[in-house]
Structure 1
Amino acid sequence: MKKMILSALMLAGLVSCQQDFNPGTNGSSLTVRSGTSFGMCVGYCRQEVVIDNKNTVFTKTSREADKNPPVTCEKQTDSGTWNEIATKVNFDAFQKIPETLGCPDCADGGAEYVEIQLNDSRHRVTFEYNKTIPGFEDLVTAVRQQRNAFADCK
């Protein structure tokens, strides 16, 4: 009997450690960031979009802030868009991906990243520009679409 109780407690402990995101539980605890950067670049060489269940904030920056001051645009996150992104997040699986894939920004090919923050935990994966993260292709595509939607941000 003691072995059964101990086994049940251990199983419950293992299950409770899982950090998959379920958008129906606590959408305010999830933030997704995506950005690009180019090493040999003039002008606005870095872009980032930060998406949560309330707002989507886009920022572009330059190495020469005096000539090209940072530009930020913001919009309210549409619930359909948020659900599309949030349902593609599997934080446990994402944390297992190495922080760097390939050779980001080698030969000035550019770098891209996706970062997921769930509660106090965060993990960023940086990869070659316009490539993807194996197993997270749909998430990469969805956050790229949000970043690209700010192409006219001035």
Structure 2
Amino acid sequence: MNLRLVNIVFLLLFFGCSSVSPQSDSKVNDGLIVRTGTSFGMCVGYCRNDYEIKQTAVTLTRNDIRKSLTQTCQTTISETDWAAIKAATNFSEFSKQPERLGCPDCADGGAEYIELQLNDQSHRVTFEYNATIPGFESLVDLLRKQRNAYKECK
């Protein structure tokens, strides 16, 4: 009887210590970096704007290709905005999107892109300016809101 009790205690300790708790979504997306931007081929001035969002840090890089000028500056977004962006991402579904949608920057219509990087994997989708990515409309809208709030370096 004592041996049976010892075995039961041993098994409870062994299995109790080896259980793995599932990771929360926030832990899974901790390695998430979101890049987004716009470009216009027939344009004068800073015609290419690239944003990189890592948690609440935002880096804007503006390029004037004709004059070979580059501006880079940084700002922050709220935890709430970052949480909304993370919630709108689904890396595995986003990776199934084609790399190009429509005819970006045809007839100087402009182009937008969104790139998601999760740890060492990334996927970029370029699409027509003011269009959207099917199934990712909320992500497109959230990122446009961020770009519109932070259009230039000060």
Q: With structure 1 as the length reference, what TM-score do the two structures score?
A: 0.79
- 1:115 and 1:122 map into 2 onto residues whose CA distance is 7
Structure 1, unpaired ranges of 5+: 1-20
Aligned partner of 1:91 in structure 2 is 91
1:17-58 deviation digits (Å, cap 9, x = unpaired): xxxx92x21443000010011111111110011111141111
1:58-102 deviation digits (Å, cap 9, x = unpaired): 111111345xx3122211332111101001010110000000000
Q: Give how far 1:144 is off.
A: 1.0
Aligned partner of 1:59 in structure 2 is 61
Aligned partner of 1:40 in structure 2 is 42
Structure 2, unpaired ranges of 5+: 1-23
Q: Which amino acid aligns with 1:41?
A: C
Aligned partner of 2:103 in structure 1 is 103
> Is 1:50 matched with 2:39?
no
Q: With structure 2 as the length reference, what TM-score do the two structures score?
A: 0.79
- 2:29 and 2:91 map into 1 onto residues whose CA distance is 14
- 2:95 and 2:29 map into 1 onto residues whose CA distance is 19
- 1:119 and 1:85 map into 2 onto residues whose CA distance is 17
- Greater Cα offset, 106-115 or 72-81: 72-81
Q: Give how far 1:151 is off.
A: 2.3
Percent sequence identity is 52
Q: CA RMSD in A?
A: 1.6
Q: Which has the higher helix share?
A: 2
- 1:101 and 1:27 map into 2 onto residues whose CA distance is 26
Aligned partner of 1:115 in structure 2 is 115
- 2:95 and 2:28 map into 1 onto residues whose CA distance is 19
Q: Which runs of 4+ in 1 moved over 6 A?
A: none
Aligned partner of 2:27 in structure 1 is 25
Q: Determine which structure has greater relative contact order: mean sequence separation of CA pairs < 8 Å that are 6+ residues apart, divided by chain length.
A: 1
Aligned partner of 1:144 in structure 2 is 144
Number of residue-to-residue matches in the alignment? 131
Q: Give how far 1:138 is off.
A: 0.3
